[in-house]
Structure 1
Amino acid sequence: MFLVTGATGFVGSAVVALLHDRGHAVRAVVRDPARADVLPDGVERVAADLADGEALVRAMDGCESVFHLAAAVGAPGPEAHELNVGGTARVVDAVRRAGVRRLVHTSTSAAICVPDPDGPGCVIDEDAAGGTELTDPYSTTKAEAEAVVLDAVGAGGIDAVVATVVNVYGPSPRGPLSYNQLLAAAARGAVGAIVDTRVGWVLAEDVAEGQLLVHDGGETGRRHVLCGEVASFPEVLDTYCVAAGSPHRVRALPEGSELPEGAPPFADRSVVYGRIGGYRVRDDRARALGFAPRGIAEGLALTARWMPAT
């Protein structure tokens, strides 16, 4: 039995769908029953909250592994810290107490943006010491959460691996959320300008595949970066517009620029990454597991075909 936190979210629902399709028994942690309709028939639902450690222990009873994907994105500092750091600490404690064999902790490239020793900007390095140059609540609290997991491994309490995810887009059972919102806004002409900085992009379906690979063969106490391709925000948005048959294109602003008020969701991440000069990726460990994600041209074409039907 595999337990998944964040099971009704954008990436979590894709992970649940893949595990279920592969024939695994899945138990989904559900905080809001109204969102559970996204889960496939046959997936067990269990009510639990990351604020309730005892409920997490009960939810993990009889589970072989836990995929921890629940996280607060875009929340203010105290809320982000409570869920991302406090919630992860309670998951780690519950894993230990319930005797779970393996934890797959989902982290983010934002948690390990460190200065690139070989050039300008930053690098997302599977072997980085930890910490991030980014200062927004999501990035800093996800960095702290990752440290909680790795410290627990170092103390010998649990067997855990880290799946580090870059910017996620594409088809998901939850619908067109996350960076899909920014792609859709660009296609309807609602993104006048975006900061021209390079970051990683990956399909939600490929993240789900990568999660299972990391679970099955990932190295204990190590990061495994799940990235499809590194590309600039303007390149991604314009490529999507072409794939979607939209005449709109975005105006590229230099790194360090700010966006006007009222920019669509996730456009501000181009500002955040632009302040550090973007990043490149080192993902050899994930690739060695057989992770073979699709690039942006294929991924955005797939997303354009799926988006109108959602």
Structure 2
Amino acid sequence: MLLVTGATGFVGSAVVAHLHEQGYAVRAMVRDPSRADVLPDGVERVAADLADADSLARAMDGCEGVFHLAAAVGMPGPEARELNVGGTRRVVEAVRRAGVRRLVHTSTSAAICVPDPDGPGCLVAEDAAGGTALTDTYSATKAEAETVVLDAVAAGGLDAVVATVVNVYGPSPRGPLSYNQLFAAAARGEVEGIVDTRVGWTLAQDVAAGELLAFTDGEVGRRYVLCGQIASFPEVLDTYCELAGSPHRVRALPQGSELPPGAPPFADRSVVYGHLGGYRVRDDGARALGAAPRGIAEGLALTADFMRA
């Protein structure tokens, strides 16, 4: 049995669907039952809360693995820290109490984005020492959460790996959330300009496949970066518009630019990464495991078809 936290989220629901399709017995941790309609038939539901260590341990009872994806995005600082850092600490404690064999902790490129020693911009690498150049609440608390997991591994007694995801998009049981919202806004002509900075992009299904590889074949205490392709925000949005049959295109703004108030969801990430000069990725470990995430041409074509349907 495999437990997934954050099972009804954009990425979490994709992980649940993939594990289920691969024949695993899956238990989805659900805090809001009204969101459980995205879960496949045959997936067990269990009520638990990251704030309640006892409920977490009960949810993990009999599980061989735990995929921890629950996280706070867009919450105020104290709430985000309580969920992302405190919640992860309680997950680690519950994994130990329940005797779970392996924890796959889902992190983000924003948690390990540091100045690139070999050139301009930043580097996202599997062998990063930890910490991030980003100062927003989400990035900072996810960096702290990753430290909680890796420190527990180093202290002994915890088998855990870290799956680090870059900007996620594409078909997901949760629907047109995440960067899909930005793509749709661009296709409607609602994105006048976006900062011209290069970052990583990965399909939600490819994240799910990479997380399973990390669980089955990953090395204890290792970080595995799941990245399909590095591309600029304007390149991605214009490609999506073309594939979606939209006549609209976006204006590329210089790195360091700001966006006007009211910009569509996730457009602000181009500003955040633009101030850092974008980033490059080292993901050799994930690819050695067999991860083969698709590039943006194929991924955006799948996304356009999904969004059209």
State the TM-score, normalizing by the size of structure 2: 0.99
Instruction: Give the structure 2 partner of residue 238 of structure 1.
Output: 238
**Displacement, 1:157?**
2.3
Q: Residue 300 of structure 1 aligns to which amino acid in structure 2?
A: L
Residue 120 in structure 1 maps to residue 155 in structure 2 = no
1: CA distance, partners of 2:151 / 2:169: 30
Instruction: Give the structure 2 partner of residue 254 of structure 1.
Output: 254
Matches within 5 A, 1:176-255: 176-255=176-255
2: CA distance, partners of 1:30 / 1:161: 23
Deviations 1:173-220 (A, max 9, x none): 010100000000000000010000000000001000001011111111
1: CA distance, partners of 2:4 / 2:245: 37
2: CA distance, partners of 1:8 / 1:183: 22
Instruction: Give the structure 1 partner of residue 27 of structure 2.
Output: 27
1: CA distance, partners of 2:59 / 2:302: 36
State the TM-score, normalizing by the size of structure 1: 0.99
Deviations 1:205-262 (A, max 9, x none): 1000001011111111110000000000000000000000000000111111100000
Deviations 1:258-301 (A, max 9, x none): 00000000000000101111000000000000101110011001
2: CA distance, partners of 1:240 / 1:233: 11
Instruction: Give the structure 1 partner of residue 129 of structure 2.
Output: 129
1: CA distance, partners of 2:53 / 2:308: 40
1: CA distance, partners of 2:235 / 2:95: 41
2: CA distance, partners of 1:165 / 1:16: 16
Instruction: Give the structure 2 partner of residue 88 of structure 1.
Output: 88
1: CA distance, partners of 2:180 / 2:165: 16
Instruction: Give the structure 2 partner of residue 169 of structure 1.
Output: 169
Instruction: Give the structure 1 partner of residue 276 of structure 2.
Output: 276
2: CA distance, partners of 1:102 / 1:77: 30
Deviations 1:103-143 (A, max 9, x none): 00000000000110110000001001000000000000000
What SS does the aligned partner of 1:50 have? coil
2: CA distance, partners of 1:154 / 1:15: 27
Instruction: Give the structure 1 partner of residue 10 of structure 2.
Output: 10
Q: Residue 51 of structure 1 aligns to which amino acid in structure 2?
A: A
2: CA distance, partners of 1:129 / 1:22: 34
1: CA distance, partners of 2:217 / 2:241: 37
Q: Residue 276 of structure 1 aligns to which amino acid in structure 2?
A: L
What SS does the aligned partner of 1:275 have? helix
Instruction: Give the structure 2 partner of residue 264 of structure 1.
Output: 264
2: CA distance, partners of 1:19 / 1:301: 24
Percent identical residues: 83
1: CA distance, partners of 2:110 / 2:86: 18
Matches within 5 A, 1:42-53: 42-53=42-53
2: CA distance, partners of 1:134 / 1:2: 33
**Displacement, 1:40?**
0.5
Q: Residue 68 of structure 1 aligns to which amino acid in structure 2?
A: H
Could you list the structure 1 runs, at least 4 aligned residues long, displaced by more than 4 angstroms after superposition.
none
2: CA distance, partners of 1:130 / 1:306: 36
1: CA distance, partners of 2:85 / 2:250: 36
Deviations 1:65-93 (A, max 9, x none): 00000001111111110110010000000
Pairwise CA RMSD of aligned residues? Answer: 0.5
Aligned length: 309
2: CA distance, partners of 1:219 / 1:187: 42
Flag structure 2 segments of 5+ consecutive residues without an equivalent: none
